[in-house]
Structure 1
Amino acid sequence: MRLTFSDGTTGVWNAGAMLAGKGTSLTIPLRDRHEFARAFIDNGALAWPNRLELAPWTLHQEMEAAGLLSQEAT
């Protein structure tokens, strides 16, 4: 999923690690590609209708540490 942050950085986030393993009642339904595709932005957070929300600063920090962010071309 391509994410663009308010600081102008952008990158492709892979949800594989979040969806792998035992999972939780919020992440297991997102293994279905149609459910995962229902993602939306709610007050800056990446969210799904099942009430799972991921904080943008956490996603940004993890993606930056992994070298997945670049400055969006203008």
Structure 2
Amino acid sequence: MQKLKEIRSLGKYRLWLKYEDGNSGEVNLSEFAGKGVFQAWEQPGIFDQVYIDPESGAIAWNDQLDMCPDSVYFKLRGINPEDHFRQKNVA
């Protein structure tokens, strides 16, 4: 998968991201807000603390809250992960 190179919060559960293949853009993560570990985003300022974890490359907000950059890449590109991996297995 593609390595995440840049990230910044746009507020209201939106991120701007840039990947090593040049794909970049805005992703809305509001579907996760208030659910499970993402309840932490409800605390003022937490969502805006987003960064790329230097060890794992994950999208992180603290050492206990992160998200897979691959899943966000698929969301950014409008790719269904199941279709993507099904095609990879056929090839």
Between the two structures, name the one with larger relative contact order (CA 8 Å, sep ≥ 6): 1
Which structure's residues are more often strand, by fraction?
A: 2
- Cα shift at 1:63: 1.7
**Shift, 1:31, TM fit:** 2.0
Q: 1:13 aligns with which of 27, 39, 42?
A: 27
User: What's the RMSD between the two structures over aligned residues?
Assistant: 1.7
Larger radius of gyration: 2
Distance in 2, matches of 1:5 and 1:48, equals 18
Alignment of 1:41 with 2:41, yes or no, is: no
SS at match of 1:18: coil
Q: Give runs of ≥4 in structure 1 deviating > 4 Å.
A: none
- Unaligned 5+ segments in structure 2 are 1-14, 80-91
Find the aligned partners of 2:44 and 2:27 in 1 and give their Cα distance: 15
**Number of residue pairs matched?**
63
- Give the percent of matched residue pairs that are identical in Structure 1 and Structure 2: 22
TM-score (norm 2): 0.60
